[in-house]
Chain A
Amino acid sequence: MAEVSVKEGVETRDWIELKRKPVADIGFDETVKNLTTEKIEKVVNAVLNIGKNAARFMAPLETCIHCALCSTACHWYLSHDKDPTYAPVAKVKMTLWELIKRKGKVSPEFMKQVARIVFCECNLCRRCSMYCPFGLDIAYQLGMVRRICFILGLVPQNILDQTHSLSATLNQLWLTQGDWIDTMQWQEEEVRAEIKNVRIPIDKEGADVMWCPLGTEPKVATYHIARTAKIMNVAGIDWTVSAQDGWDSANMGMFIRDMETMQRVVRGIYDNAMRLKIKRVVLTE
């Protein structure tokens, strides 16, 4: 039976601990040491606005009838022999539901499990919403839990580093402006061996198309730049790439719900397009 603290109206029953293979990630293991219940409570209440205006979160939780149609839509659930702890409804139940029910009064260890569920066992692919009889947006709910985890710093190290890079340089992999321009010129030279007089125009004002690659392309996958240059030149497109920061279409801030970095990345691309008077923007595959 759940014990209920009459004074605070908060259940104090122990949460269900999931049986998973342990995975070491500094982003979880180290940050969890600095967390306290007070810190978590403050962040949860700030993001979810519990007690004041949590209708956006309460409405889907109270509409859900636990029909489990979302379960068979989830590749995590099907890939683990229909283990119910991987079902989308269970992921909401074990994260957002508990946080609201306990008004954010949870232990750091519980938050670590929540972070693993939302970052490492869900892709926010929205397939479950397609089969929900009420069309509840489960990806949005889990996304907001990602936001709580991000503000607490409970994010896998690799993706947090890439978000820091976007925050500082507006590209994913700490490339400098010099590296970027050099790579484009080097690729232009390479492709010239195959296609005559290929150009990768940099910062061309008034072009029809601005192409925005992913940060990994100039860093480790330059063949994408070469192929794009071939296609654009053979098709005779008036195209360009931006020389200034804001050429990278990767948006890790969106994945971890770092809204501040997310909007700066998008704005960087649009600002560049406006500066160069571009007609259309083509992002990468």
Chain B
Amino acid sequence: MGWKDSPIETLHPIEFYYELVSTGRIKIDKNKKIKGPITIQDPCNLVRLRGAGEKVRYLVNATCEGPIIEMQPNREHNFCCNGGGGGNAIGPPWKRNRCEGARVKAEQIIATGCHNICAPCHNCYTSINDVLKFYNLEGHAMFMDEILAETMEVPEEFKVG
């Protein structure tokens, strides 16, 4: 049947991006940094299960002018976005049910007062955007690949033209 242990190392992109930024393979352009206060949604799989909470914060610190305003509670104590564990995938009929169950998340976001929410997970990203819309809140969720692709330094040899 399958493999007993992972035969090859597997990484979440956050861990991979952390490696790229901390070793200097990707340099951040100071002029392109994301402006305004930002808060972080801790994905359960990445933070509670893999313990990469500090790596997310390192990347956000490197790419955003900040300040980071933490949700309360945060890191491995943060609440689930309510999209994980198949929460999003059970489909459109349950969307209202799902948003009602995420009122705590909306309250956490309101308390931070941030409009930028870094949500480095597909489920969290979708779910946070749905919650913001359902509770008529301003702001939007942001992926880490989006932040990194926008703020990284592109060397001369890669420029078109």
Contact = CB atoms under 8 A, between A and B. Distances in A.
Contact of B90 (A79, A119, A226): A119
B62 to A, nearest CB: 14
B111 interface: no
A224 B121 CA distance: 12
B40 to A, nearest CB: 14
Given A78-B104, A80-B101, A255 B145 contact: no
Nearest to B14: A285
A124 B90 CA distance: 14
B103 interface: yes
Interface in B1-46: 1-3, 6-14, 16-17, 20, 25-26, 44
Interface stretch (A41-49, A52-60, A233-241): A233-241
Contacts of B152: 230-231, 234
Contacts of A230: 149, 152
B17 A126 contact: no
A194 B102 CA distance: 39
Interface of B: 1-3, 6-14, 16-17, 20, 25-26, 44, 48-49, 76-77, 79-80, 82-87, 89-94, 96-98, 100-105, 120-122, 125, 143-146, 148-149, 152, 154-155, 157-160
27 contacts: A75-B80, A75-B104, A120-B98, A123-B44, A123-B80, A123-B83, A123-B84, A123-B86, A125-B44, A158-B89, A158-B93, A196-B160, A216-B122, A223-B146, A228-B145, A230-B149, A231-B145, A235-B20, A235-B25, A270-B6, A270-B8, A280-B9, A280-B11, A281-B9, A282-B11, A285-B12, A285-B143
Query: Which 8 interchain pairs have the tightest Cβ spacing?
Result: A158-B91, A255-B86, A125-B80, A79-B103, A124-B85, A123-B85, A156-B90, A227-B149
